[in-house]
Amino acid sequence: MANKIKVATTSLAGCFGCHMSFLDLDERLIALAEVAEFDRSPITDIEHCGPCDIGLIEGGVCNSENVHVLREFRKNCKILVAVGACAINGGLPAMRNHISLEDCLLEAYRDGIGVENAQIPNDPELPLLLDKVHPIHEVVKVDYYLPGCPPSADVFWAFLTALLEGREPSYPYELVHYD
């Protein structure tokens, strides 16, 4: 098929759990590969994103690098999707929002038990932390949200097949209740 849709994926302040869940599509990945190809993604190891149709973002925004990556995706992807609890709400990493960044850094690099050679990392190669972890829609415009921690493979499938068929995605109740 000549005009495959292009998909890019990345994980910001996430745990790659959403990506693992995506792989749970199992044999449906073969069907997906018939109509889609991957641009930047941990699956391809492509480093920078080119023009894409769909960008899937896992994780929230916790540091300056996350901001750059997210902007690269927004610039290149026609449709940008917040995947999973962390991208949507900040999730687990955002639990640090109740503690000042100063206290977090001091605990991790100076005062914590077992810290040796205490110092705050300052290599220019390292991205700086934002004082709060943000959901991605607070930094760029987001088109769709896939709920779940992680969203199940069926949610990914329902979403992608809907987009491919030109329908507005919707999820049956069974896919989005968590108790």
Query: Nearest 5°: phi and psi at 167?
Result: -100, 155
DSSP H stretches of helix in 2-125: 17-23, 28-35, 64-76, 84-89, 101-106
For the CA atoms of 97, 102, 105, 110, what is the dihedral angle to 10 degrees?
Answer: -150
112 binds other proteins (CB under 8 A): no
CB 46 within 8 A of CB 40: yes
Indicate which single residue of 132, 154, 175, 176 sits in contact with other proteins (rule: CB under 8 A): 132
Indicate which single residue of 120, 167, 170, 172 sits in contact with other proteins (rule: CB under 8 A): 120
Question: What is the smallest separation between the CB atom of 116 and other proteins, expressed in angstroms?
Answer: 19
Indicate which single residue of 29, 35, 79, 129 sits in contact with other proteins (rule: CB under 8 A): 129
Nearest residue (CB) to other proteins, 121 versus 172: 121
Under DSSP, the state recorded for 179 is -
Candidate ranges 8-16, 19-27, 134-142, 159-167; the one touching other proteins (CB under 8 A): 134-142
164 binds other proteins (CB under 8 A): no
67 binds other proteins (CB under 8 A): yes
Question: What is the smallest separation between the CB atom of 136 and other proteins, expressed in angstroms?
Answer: 10
* CA atoms within a 13 Å half-sphere pointing along the CA-CB vector of 126: 7
107 binds other proteins (CB under 8 A): no
Candidate ranges 13-21, 29-37, 125-133, 152-160; the one touching other proteins (CB under 8 A): 125-133
With a CB cutoff of 8 Å and minimum separation 6, the contacts of 144 are: 79, 80, 81, 82, 159, 169
How many Å apart are CA 57 and CA 69, to the nearest integer?
10
Question: What is the smallest separation between the CB atom of 151 and other proteins, expressed in angstroms?
Answer: 20
Residues forming contacts to other proteins in the complex (CB under 8 A) are: 64, 67, 71, 74-75, 100-102, 105, 120-122, 124, 126-132, 134, 138-141
